[in-house]
Structure 1
């Protein structure tokens, strides 16, 4: 294995193919994987508490004929925690921008899961001409459809002695329909997330308004959701709406619970590129 590092970014090469890289982002190192060649590139963004491994089962077939980039947002995976403690969606979209700019990706399909869907949507709204297609995986709808007092109550609980009980209950709820091995894996990852990061990201997601980005980005969109995320406040039903697919018998991490069904839906969407 050959290792190359510069003042700008580090690259790990294996048999001539880039498999692990990092770049200095706005507030620290941002890690990502860059694999495959040819075709319209696909860029993946993970959920809260996630990392590039959440896309392992999906990218394997894609890298046979197209470039696949998987990004780890600030505070996740091998990326550094932000020195300024900034976890705003708009700021994490800058992490994404840093990577795709470095790689010279002028146009690509963007896939974001949950929190990563909000980040992907934010980027697409700011850079609509560069996003050839947008796939939002079980992402948050419009949280402001919920009363402000409810959102405030949730934030207050996170600052209380009930923090551990509240967060663990929430993680278990998201994983309730997942396979046992996915439940075990994800719960271990989620409970390791620093309290400060959990509070800041949760508060941000409770206030994030997706409507402006939905207006700005008019390119092809697809939502892949669980049945629980197919209601009147879901992203794919806001404003004029856009196509969606529902995957049954899966928890919030659809791509881990039902990888074959997820891959089939995604590859059908990618056939236009």
Structure 2
């Protein structure tokens, strides 16, 4: 986006000793809407969604720690809990109340965890192809997870930084990962995902250590307990051609108090890029719908 009065503002806050960045689309008197990106992504990947919703919402899109223009964490495994704490700090620092949250992929899991831990803070929740822990999933034994993690850290320490001669080369790389991207989309994403290096080239902004998955993560039982505490209307969105399981057939929906599922035909994992018009329409409809009734935070066992 070109610098203009229409451009969002870059802002920063502190969390856990880190200087973290978020993109603020203004309209501060409107209800707040938090857009949470996925792994190895950045806040500006939400631009097309933010523009469509900024009239009715105060749209804020954070760069999670280690991503975008936020600081990298030293000696961190970038756990889900770390990202949840960062969201909590952002919500507190900006005094956000009655918050709507939209999360994609890993950002969807962060959003689910935040909404389950602090159900009183979230008024609406949308998860775009982001339920990555499901009842049929088999988890490796802890000794194997730790061994894999140590190996991943060692490999990351030895890996050379991936560099590109131009932003266009980075866009080519993105298009190779998602053939549904238009050239304009790929260039926009790459422009905000890359930074200039000392040699005149470009490299990714994200911390390479984000690729090493922490061995300590929430169990399925932990996730189900959190999902059952989410008191607000919840929309799960799945791409029909995603590599992730269908939330309905995977038995996810029955663990929420009031959740509905929308399937986007012809979309892969990056549903907001693959079918932007459909996603924006679904978001507008869901976020504008009247609340049928507020559920108690500590209520009965959820039913399908």
SS of 2:84's equivalent in the other structure is helix
Correspondence for 2:84: 93
In 1, Cα distance between equivalents of 2:77 and 2:148: 21
Q: CA deviation at 1:219?
A: 1.3
**Structure 1: runs of 5 or more not aligned:** 1-13, 165-170
SS of 2:235's equivalent in the other structure is strand
Correspondence for 1:139: 130
Aligned Cα root-mean-square deviation (Å) = 3.7
SS of 1:233's equivalent in the other structure is coil
Q: CA deviation at 1:87?
A: 1.1
**Structure 2: runs of 5 or more not aligned:** 160-172, 195-202, 291-304
In 1, Cα distance between equivalents of 2:57 and 2:252: 28
Decide whether aligned partners of structure 1 residues 185 and 237 sit closer, same or farther in structure 2, where only a CA change above 3 A counts.
farther
Correspondence for 1:178: 180
- Find the partner of 2:58 among 38, 43, 67: 67
Decide whether aligned partners of structure 1 residues 198 and 204 sit closer, same or farther in structure 2, where only a CA change above 3 A counts.
farther
For residues 110-147 of structure 1, give each alpha carbon's deviation from its aligned partner in whole angstroms, at most 9, with x where no partner exists.
11111111111111112111100110110133256322
TM-score (norm 1): 0.77
Correspondence for 1:220: 233
Decide whether aligned partners of structure 1 residues 179 and 33 sit closer, same or farther in structure 2, where only a CA change above 3 A counts.
closer
Residue correspondences, number: 253
CA contact (8 A) 1:142 1:235 kept: no
Mean Cα displacement is larger for which, 83-92 or 238-247?
A: 238-247
For residues 76-122 of structure 1, give each alpha carbon's deviation from its aligned partner in whole angstroms, at most 9, with x where no partner exists.
00101123414111111111111111111121101111111111111
In 2, Cα distance between equivalents of 1:175 and 1:206: 28
Correspondence for 2:299: none
Q: CA deviation at 1:40?
A: 2.1
Correspondence for 2:167: none
In 2, Cα distance between equivalents of 1:185 and 1:74: 21
CA contact (8 A) 1:30 1:80 kept: yes
Correspondence for 2:224: 211
The alignment status of 1:252 with 2:269, answered yes or no, reads yes
The alignment status of 1:83 with 2:74, answered yes or no, reads yes
Q: CA deviation at 1:39?
A: 3.3
Mean Cα displacement is larger for which, 240-249 or 262-271?
A: 240-249
Considering fraction of residues, name the structure with more helix: 1
Specify the structure having the higher radius of gyration (Cα): 2
For residues 180-208 of structure 1, give each alpha carbon's deviation from its aligned partner in whole angstroms, at most 9, with x where no partner exists.
6467887995994544221136x566857
CA contact (8 A) 1:51 1:72 kept: yes
